[in-house]
């Protein structure tokens, strides 16, 4: 999936590629047993239904002229039985295929979600979330029916055509040829419209994807929108995207309606031709009225499968385009993963070494170059410096959220690139800058990273970070339900809950990225007391712009110029009167 924005169409103009459909057969094969049963039921239902015109012909040509009342009752009941049995078989088949379609959706969507969970941060950095979501939801929904009912219906329609042709020619060869005479005209119509139809549906998908991406972005940023009174401007953007979608949809519907319009007219013309040829050209001496009635019924039935096959063909082509996007997501490489023969990282003490580390988010634009430093187990390290210098990057590399470009990072002498990710991250407690709260109870959110934690352990972690008091003020305490992203909580409350979640994991390495940025000064002082106890015996990295919160750290590293410009304790750096001294002095002056 290429980098994109909500106002840029995805490139869906790709030729029909059968390999994507073949790949989808993996999901179809899992459902082959019910699909075969459904196909048999469909064939039986179609075959029984096709006997109705023959019954009607016999009744008109034989039973009624002979005034056979008992025969009329018999044939009427037989026709009713064919209708009932056909409907019952079709209903059973429909229910089976509904389940098959949902099972296929479940399998594809589960594989997508599992893969998305494994993709690195880099994948999400430059991609609209809405355009990722539409692949998991809309595109999967679009292909499921084609992969289940579509295949069954395609085979069934072919069989229908074959059965109808057999029945038609069995009744009358000459009128059958009249019906087939309209087929070349229909083929010409399909050939003229099929490419335009496919492109039109792809354009609809593009505009739907753009609209979905902007809608998701707007909902996520609604507070910022209202703060800056951007409602009217954003409404204009949404209206433009919605208008583009509506325009493409209407154009597509216009093209779609041309095919049934053509079929209806051709069917009418052919039916008229049947009556003309049968009654006028050949005459009642050669063809009975019952035969004409049966053939007109078969003519109507004959064109419907052809219409369905043409629609299925377009659906298959569109589905392949969707499948390509789905498989493109599934094929997105998991660049940060366990290497072959990766080893479990044993219980760590917390010695961390950066050895000549270089890293770039984009090739050729290094954020860090030849960075080397060593942190002893149990040391607390503060990372300070200007915005964008690479402080968060350093802690992200320790957690191996990104692969380094060069050099080596070791924990207790073990290269983290050779360690299994789960064994590495399970021994780290990380509180990122964005305090994300999941929908559920406060208890569930704190327990998120350690599902086996007891309620008492959850409460103990909350007390350490000074979250217990405000949690108990809620009517339901720890069982209070919170919305996605914690919209009912203040920013400070969200950070304290995230802090408790991180501390509950009891990590050997603790990473706090602006952990106290939204906490008031009084709460921060209380929190610091608990943290001082918690940090004992753990290696910790603390990123903070307020230098007063990190002055007691064992080591302070000033990150700048793609590396560590200065390193030492607070007193050592102040005595050095370098960059840290200037930054600290400036903040001290601002506080006065």
Which DSSP string do the residues of 540-576 spell out, in sequence order?
EEEE-S-GGGTTTSSEEEEEETTEEEEEE-HHHHHHH
Residue 1: pLDDT above 60?
no
What's the confidence (pLDDT) of residue 282? 63
For the ranges 110-124, 167-181, 473-487, the maximum mean pLDDT occurs at: 110-124
- Reported as type and span, the H/E element at residue 344 is none
Helices (H) and strands (E) in the chain, counts: 22, 12
Angstrom distances, CA of residue 438 to CA of 376, 449, 461, 490: 35, 12, 18, 14
What's the confidence (pLDDT) of residue 464? 83
From 274, 297, 330, the end of a domain falls on: 330
Residue 294: pLDDT above 60?
yes
User: What is the dihedral sign for C-alpha 344, 346, 347, 351?
Assistant: negative
Other beta carbons less than 10 A from residue 244's beta carbon: 19
Nearest to 315 by CA among 192, 143, 158: 143
Q: Which two tokens stand for residue 387?
A: 């915005």
Same domain, 226 and 134: yes
Same domain, 40 and 182: yes
* Total number of domains constituting the chain: 3
What angle, 0 to 180 degrees and rounded to 10, lies between the N-to-C axes of helices 183-220 and 231-275?
160
Same domain, 280 and 237: yes
Q: What is the mean pLDDT of residues 62-72?
A: 80
- Reported as type and span, the H/E element at residue 53 is helix 51-58
Span 123-163, pLDDT tens digits: 887 677 777 888 888 788 878 777 777 777 787 778 778 87
Nearest to 400 by CA among 384, 422, 382: 422
Other beta carbons less than 10 A from residue 587's beta carbon: 13
From 330, 357, 382, the end of a domain falls on: 330
Between 226-240, 404-418, 514-528, the lowest mean confidence (pLDDT) is in 514-528
What's the confidence (pLDDT) of residue 172? 79
Same domain, 278 and 197: yes
Between 310 and 583, residue with greater pLDDT = 583
Reported confidence tier of residue 534, pLDDT bands at 50, 70, 90: low
3-state secondary structure of 429: strand
Note whether 397 and 568 are within 8 A (CB): no
Note whether 189 and 256 are within 8 A (CB): no
What's the confidence (pLDDT) of residue 258? 78
CATH number at residue 407: 3.40.50.300
Same domain, 291 and 409: no
Same domain, 487 and 405: no
The C-alpha atoms of residue 491 and residue 493 are separated, in whole angstroms, by 5
**Tokens 């934690």 map to which residue?**
453
**Tokens 């216009």 map to which residue?**
254
What's the confidence (pLDDT) of residue 544? 79
Domain assignment present for residue 162? The answer is yes
Reported confidence tier of residue 492, pLDDT bands at 50, 70, 90: confident
Note whether 6 and 241 are within 8 A (CB): yes
Domain assignment present for residue 4? The answer is no
Span 25-46, pLDDT tens digits: 888 888 888 888 887 887 788 7
Q: What is the mean pLDDT of the chain?
A: 81
Same domain, 112 and 257: yes
Same domain, 216 and 316: yes
Task: Phi first, then psi: give them for residue 557, nearest 5 degrees.
Answer: -115, 120
State the residue range of the domain holding 567.
Answer: 349-427+509-520+539-592
The C-alpha atoms of residue 317 and residue 324 are separated, in whole angstroms, by 11
Cβ-based neighbours of 194, under 8 Å, separated by 6 or more? 310, 313, 314, 317
What angle, 0 to 180 degrees and rounded to 10, lies between the N-to-C axes of helices 151-171 and 289-330?
160
Span 496-511, pLDDT tens digits: 888 888 888 888 898 8
Same domain, 85 and 48: yes
Same domain, 271 and 133: yes
Same domain, 186 and 239: yes
Strands, sheet with 406-411, edge to edge from the N-terminal-most edge strand: 365-375, 352-362, 406-411, 414-415
Q: What is the mean pLDDT of residues 47-56?
A: 76
Residue 280: pLDDT above 70?
no
- Rg of the chain in Å (alpha carbons): 35
């Amino acid at each position: 999936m290429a980098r994109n924005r909500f106002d840029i169409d995805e490139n869906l103009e790709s030729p029909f590629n059968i390999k994507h459909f073949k790949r989808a057969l993996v999901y179809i094969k899992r459902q082959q047993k019910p699909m075969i049963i459904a196909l048999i039921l469909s064939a039986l239902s179609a075959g029984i239904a096709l006997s109705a015109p023959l019954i009607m012909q016999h009744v008109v040509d034989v039973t009624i002229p002979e005034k056979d009342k008992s025969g009329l009752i018999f044939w009427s009941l037989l026709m009713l039985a064919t209708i009932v049995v056909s409907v019952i078989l079709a209903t059973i088949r429909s229910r089976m295929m509904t389940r098959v379609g949902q099972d296929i959706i479940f399998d594809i969507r589960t594989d997508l979600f599992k893969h998305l969970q494994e993709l690195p941060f880099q994948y999400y950095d430059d991609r609209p979330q809405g355009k990722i979501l539409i692949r998991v939801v809309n595109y999967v929904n679009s292909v499921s029916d084609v992969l289940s009912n579509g295949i069954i219906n395609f085979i069934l329609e072919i069989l229908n055509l074959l059965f109808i042709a057999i029945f038609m020619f069995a009744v009358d060869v000459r009128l059958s040829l009249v019906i087939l005479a309209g087929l070349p005209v229909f083929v010409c119509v399909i050939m003229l419209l099929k490419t335009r139809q496919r492109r039109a549906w792809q354009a609809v998908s593009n505009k739907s994807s753009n609209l979905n991406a902007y809608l998701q972005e707007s909902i996520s940023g609604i507070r910022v929108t209202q703060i800056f009174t951007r409602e009217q401007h954003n409404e204009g953007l949404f209206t433009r995207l919605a208008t583009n979608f509506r325009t493409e949809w209407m154009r597509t519907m216009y093209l779609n309606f041309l095919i049934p319009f053509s079929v209806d007219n051709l069917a009418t013309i052919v039916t008229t031709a049947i009556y003309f040829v049968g009654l006028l050209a050949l005459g009642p001496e050669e063809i009975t009225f019952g035969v004409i009635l049966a053939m007109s019924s078969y003519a109507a039935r004959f064109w419907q499968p052809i219409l369905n096959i043409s629609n299925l063909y377009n659906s298959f082509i569109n589905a392949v385009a969707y499948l390509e996007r789905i498989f493109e997501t599934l094929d997105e490489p998991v660049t940060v993963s366990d290497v072959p023969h990766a080893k479990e990282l044993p219980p760590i003490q917390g010695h961390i070494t950066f050895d000549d580390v270089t890293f770039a988010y984009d090739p050729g634009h290094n954020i860090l170059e030849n960075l080397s430093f060593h942190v002893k187990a149990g040391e607390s390290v503060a990372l300070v410096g200007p915005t964008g210098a690479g402080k968060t990057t350093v802690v992200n590399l320790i957690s191996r959220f990104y692969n380094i470009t060069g050099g080596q990072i070791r924990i207790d002498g073990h290269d983290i690139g050779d360690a299994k990710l789960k064994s590495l991250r399970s021994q780290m407690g990380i509180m990122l800058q964005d305090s994300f709260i999941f929908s559920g109870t406060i208890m569930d959110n704190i327990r998120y990273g350690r599902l086996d934690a007891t309620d008492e352990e959850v409460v103990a972690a909350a007390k350490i970070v000074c979250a217990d008091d405000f949690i108990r003020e809620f009517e339901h305490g720890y069982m209070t339900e919170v919305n996605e992203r914690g919209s009912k909580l203040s920013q400070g409350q969200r950070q304290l809950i995230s802090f408790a979640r991180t501390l509950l994991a009891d990590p050997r390495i603790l990473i706090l990225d602006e952990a106290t940025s939204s906490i008031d000064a009084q709460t921060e002082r209380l929190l610091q007391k608990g943290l001082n106890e918690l940090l004992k015996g753990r290696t910790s990295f603390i990123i903070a712009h307020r230098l007063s919160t990190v002055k007691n750290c064992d080591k302070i590293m000033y990150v700048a110029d793609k590396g560590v410009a200065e390193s030492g304790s607070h007193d050592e750096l102040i005595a050095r009167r370098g960059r840290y001294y200037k930054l600290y002095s400036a903040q001290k002056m601002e506080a006065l």
